[in-house]
Structure 1
């Protein structure tokens, strides 16, 4: 018995259905690939911008590269000797330890103050919030050199406003006190300045996270009898924890590599290796001593240290989420 012949109309409908299914399948594949293309573009731009400098640092760190090589002389390959010299140098380890302490203390203080300002902006009315936001934006947008000029005037030994105000406190003698003479007061001053410059970013980032906290959840907790401190500790902070974690990581990385503020303060009156952090140490080794190979090796060590801290921190966050 022969099978019935398919009508032309039904055959056309079947072909259209097949084409529609193929088109939908292709559209789904393109949609799945779109994020990867966007990520690939970002990675490509990052590699172009940082790939060559990083490769140059890696190659130079294995050579004997000084002032003569800057003018075209051939660089001698010496392998890991620059790293061996650095890692056996007690002064380098002192700078590393000092930089780690400085970055974690300043980053922690910045996070606490930024969180406080974010909570304040979230609690006040629109007019006060606008004043706070404009004030922090002005502090954040001010160029580093301009703001550092003001700060050096404030801490000036002879005409500084800080010494003048502190000297007015009964029992406190701050007349012509030199903030640049001791590493303790120097890094205290530097920590205040770096924190002041970083707090706006942290405050705005956390405030953005606070706006995503549901008002219904907070109202329900208030009806259940939760106090303000309990709502902050048990509801608000856990909900904005991802934002706080990323902000803290960024602050540690930035404060570990701080350079401009320390260099300007050193130029204002502090001198000697005991006032160095990693940024100024690398600058002095490279530019001051014309030992660009050792400076490149120190830069690679800082890069490895930064990646290690970031990797440990991210792994810890992922374990907590699991």
Structure 2
């Protein structure tokens, strides 16, 4: 018999059964299975506060939008009456409402584009300055960002004043330009442009600081490799920096759209508490219907339509973020 036959005929011992799990292993398994409830337990207080602070007003808003609710109902002289979809039919069939919707969309789009472009340019420039200059600019940005909206609106109102405005005086120093006494709020487009500048001024610091933090995560090796391949500054920004910053840009754009479509104090204070028809946005229009005309049901219907428009923006944001997650 050969050695090969001897090896083949040898019996292989059967495998030993796995030992039963010890008490420590069973304890670890129980902890792992029960760990899913820990995040929900930690989030419970926050979710409860959000439900109380935001849930009740939203439910109340939906309820009022389907009711006939005026001052008589507000003071309790008459009970609230169900109006069905009458408030929505009245709002959606009003040409003035659609003009306000279009004005709000244009205002928000202009503010968002201007904010993102200026914020990106400043964030890129801050990457090329010295450390002390970068710190100084960040301090100025945070100081401007922390200024109360009412104070900032009052300052802008003074800057663009027709009689004592600094902006008119500076423009008048240019050759052939005479802006002394020019009223920027004589027309809606000019006045809304001033308010847009105010909104952009207040939003740029947040965009700059956030994009600046994102730019620190761009690998320098990729930028150097792109330059070695012959890419210029624009090529490096387009093919290296921009794709890495895309999640942050999508988030900032979505937040800016939500904030800019909800602009209220800037318009309200700038127009002395009585915005003219040319200055009406969805927020001020809803306020006027509810608290000036005293038709709270119609005002609530306008506010609810605004919420639905913003939910559409959030849906687009979630879809973009999911696409980015799938690519990664």
Is it true that 1:250 corresponds to 2:262 in the alignment? no
Partners of 1:39 and 1:244 in 2: CA distance: 27
Partners of 1:145 and 1:84 in 2: CA distance: 35
Would you say the 8 A contact 2:268–2:275 is kept in 1? no
Structure 2 counterpart of 1:309 = 313
Partners of 2:325 and 2:27 in 1: CA distance: 39
Bigger-Rg structure (1/2): 2
Would you say the 8 A contact 2:267–2:275 is kept in 1? no
Unaligned runs of 5+ in 2: 1-17
Q: 2:288 aligns with which of 284, 291, 297?
A: 284
Structure 1 counterpart of 2:117 = 112
Structure 2 counterpart of 1:3 = none
Structure 2 counterpart of 1:7 = none
Unaligned runs of 5+ in 1: 1-13
Q: Pairwise mapping of residues 54-93 of structure 1 onto structure 2 (< 5 A)?
A: 54-72=58-76, 73-93=78-98
Q: 2:264 aligns with which of 226, 246, 259?
A: 259
Query: After superposition, what is the alpha-carbon deviation per residue over 1:109-155, rounded to whole angstroms, capped at 9, x for unaligned?
Result: 10111111111222212101011101111110001111111111101
Q: TM-score, normalised by structure 2?
A: 0.88
CA displacement at 1:316 relative to structure 2: 4.1
Partners of 2:220 and 2:323 in 1: CA distance: 29
The secondary structure found in structure 2 opposite 1:123 is coil
* Runs (4+) off by over 6 Å: none
Partners of 2:305 and 2:320 in 1: CA distance: 22
Q: Pairwise mapping of residues 180-199 of structure 1 onto structure 2 (< 5 A)?
A: 180-199=185-204
Structure 2 counterpart of 1:274 = 278
* Larger mean Cα displacement after TM superposition, 301-310 or 226-235: 226-235
Structure 2 counterpart of 1:141 = 146
Query: After superposition, what is the alpha-carbon deviation per residue over 1:53-89, rounded to whole angstroms, capped at 9, x for unaligned?
Result: 0000011111111111111131111111000000000
Would you say the 8 A contact 2:251–2:317 is kept in 1? no
**Alpha carbon RMSD of aligned pairs, Å?**
2.0
Corresponding pairs, count:
308
Query: After superposition, what is the alpha-carbon deviation per residue over 1:10-61, rounded to whole angstroms, capped at 9, x for unaligned?
Result: xxxx999521111111222233443444455544332221110000001111
Is it true that 1:34 corresponds to 2:38 in the alignment? yes
Partners of 1:162 and 1:131 in 2: CA distance: 25
Partners of 2:229 and 2:42 in 1: CA distance: 46
Summarize the Cα distance change of 1:320–1:213 in structure 2 as closer, same or farther, 3 Å threshold: closer
Query: After superposition, what is the alpha-carbon deviation per residue over 1:188-230, rounded to whole angstroms, capped at 9, x for unaligned?
Result: 1011110000000111111111111222333333344432222
Q: Pairwise mapping of residues 94-243 of structure 1 onto structure 2 (< 5 A)?
A: 94-243=99-248
Summarize the Cα distance change of 1:214–1:33 in structure 2 as closer, same or farther, 3 Å threshold: farther
Would you say the 8 A contact 2:162–2:184 is kept in 1? yes
CA displacement at 1:102 relative to structure 2: 0.5
Partners of 2:253 and 2:21 in 1: CA distance: 54
The secondary structure found in structure 2 opposite 1:267 is coil
